[in-house]
Structure 1
């Protein structure tokens, strides 16, 4: 064969082969983007159903259900001066349930216990932590800041300091008026404290917030359920 003819034919054949067989090579499969569940997602999903908004005559605050028969913990200052029966707005934002005021913390302890008026109904609960919390641990707050339109808002931060041997937790998860009485949670979605207040709302300082530690909360619940709580709020008048 004439080499002058053969060479162009070979090149043409190779070129044609590359083009004509390209469609036989499958395209790289597209992997769908993975959905990542964060710790904050898990904490909120676990705890949020048990977090309630508390509505009185002139105030509102937050609280959480600690037993499936309907006991609810909040701050004394949330319901101080309110009727003996307050309204709870459940996490769905629609269901409203009356709750009796059972009792208040003694010796100025800013805690109160409520009992939902629904016999036979089982409620979602959030557990009290049995483990030690430390400075630097993650902290999660759920509550209703400013207005009921912001019901069950989640904020995150860390435990900044432990005060008075664990009686109080300093943290920097954002809380505002209305968050009072809501839970401070750990990575397992368990209660480590009850959010009570913060400094700097009028001065511009942020990130210094306080919660009552879980050991005080646990002891208060035991005494209140035994009828040993105060019938009136013992916190100082502002």
Structure 2
């Protein structure tokens, strides 16, 4: 059975069955918000929007799959995917559209294994007035001069009969904002049951796409989006141009989070690092009272710190990212 046929079956079954809510004790709102914040990414580029991590696979590096709306990433160019302050560049050539609905997947790679993936519902029953939550990164406006993470509660208004344009059959009362398109719709268990479409379809209410439409497509056509690339990304400037007087990022005003890179200490290794890479590398005996490390550099972006640590490991057989600190 092809995807279009499967998609029709999903719509005929109302996308997500309209049943009475299961009598299961839900999480607190604070717990659901914490889950939502951990899996929701910010997308900036030719268009702005949000997305949700739905898969992670592989190792050294790990490929993270992000699900979002097609209308968020349909324009050509580079997009920046940001989570926990870490940023990854994704070119439009690396983005896959899911035909027939307003969905797309993209991927980014990193050595970091700490981003969780969402728990996805598959034909999770929802009924009218069931509590739902929408998360995403709202665009700046007259009140806020920066994009901000928003977590909006509400309830299911109804499940529209399908098929419908873009796959939008979930309608809810959550007052979402521009920029939240592509973010997750979660139930009271913190499970993702849909993808928000936000203001694009706001004239008839706030709408989302049932997540099991993606699940059907993923079982039939899904593959790692990290393998979709017409060209290799350009090397990061932080990893080229050695030796440097200082290798770390700039120090902007205000309290910032930094990720240090350590190498096992020896006097010879310290001299080599200072000569070939970072003049300002120094011995650090505060990390562990029982041994000394070489602190080579600190970055505000964990992904760059991970990449630099891998470079050190390749060159010197040792390299790791230490515990983040603020200064």
Do the structures match in fold with TM over 0.5? yes
**Mapped contact 1:47–1:190 kept (Cα < 8 A):** no
Partner of 2:190: 189
Q: 2:51 aligns with which of 45, 52, 63?
A: 63
Listed one character per residue, the Cα deviations across residues 31-50 of structure 1 (whole Å, up to 9, x for unaligned) are: xxxxxxx7211111122111
Secondary structure, aligned partner of 1:180 = coil
Partner of 1:95: 86
Partner of 2:108: 116
| Offset at residue 67 of structure 1 (A) | 1.5
**Mapped contact 2:181–2:199 kept (Cα < 8 A):** no
Structure 1 length-normalised TM: 0.68
Indicate whether 1:43 and 2:32 are aligned: yes
Secondary structure, aligned partner of 2:29 = helix
In structure 2, C-alpha distance between the alignment counterparts of 1:68 and 1:122, rounded to whole Å:
10
Q: Aligned pair count?
A: 184
Q: 2:161 aligns with which of 159, 164, 174?
A: 164
Listed one character per residue, the Cα deviations across residues 4-42 of structure 1 (whole Å, up to 9, x for unaligned) are: xxxxxxxxxxxxxxxxxxxxxxxxxxxxxxxxxx72111
Structure 2 length-normalised TM: 0.51
| RMSD, aligned CA | 2.8
Partner of 1:225: 222
In structure 1, C-alpha distance between the alignment counterparts of 2:35 and 2:201, rounded to whole Å:
31
Residue ranges of structure 1 left out of the alignment (5+ in a row): 1-37, 232-238
Indicate whether 1:208 and 2:205 are aligned: yes
**Mapped contact 1:103–1:224 kept (Cα < 8 A):** no
Listed one character per residue, the Cα deviations across residues 200-220 of structure 1 (whole Å, up to 9, x for unaligned) are: 86xxx7x81000012112123
**Mapped contact 1:52–1:152 kept (Cα < 8 A):** no
Q: 2:119 aligns with which of 120, 123, 127?
A: 127
Instruction: Determine which structure has greater relative contact order: mean sequence separation of CA pairs < 8 Å that are 6+ residues apart, divided by chain length.
Output: 1
Listed one character per residue, the Cα deviations across residues 45-68 of structure 1 (whole Å, up to 9, x for unaligned) are: 122111000111x32100010113
Partner of 2:43: 54
Q: 2:67 aligns with which of 53, 69, 73?
A: 73
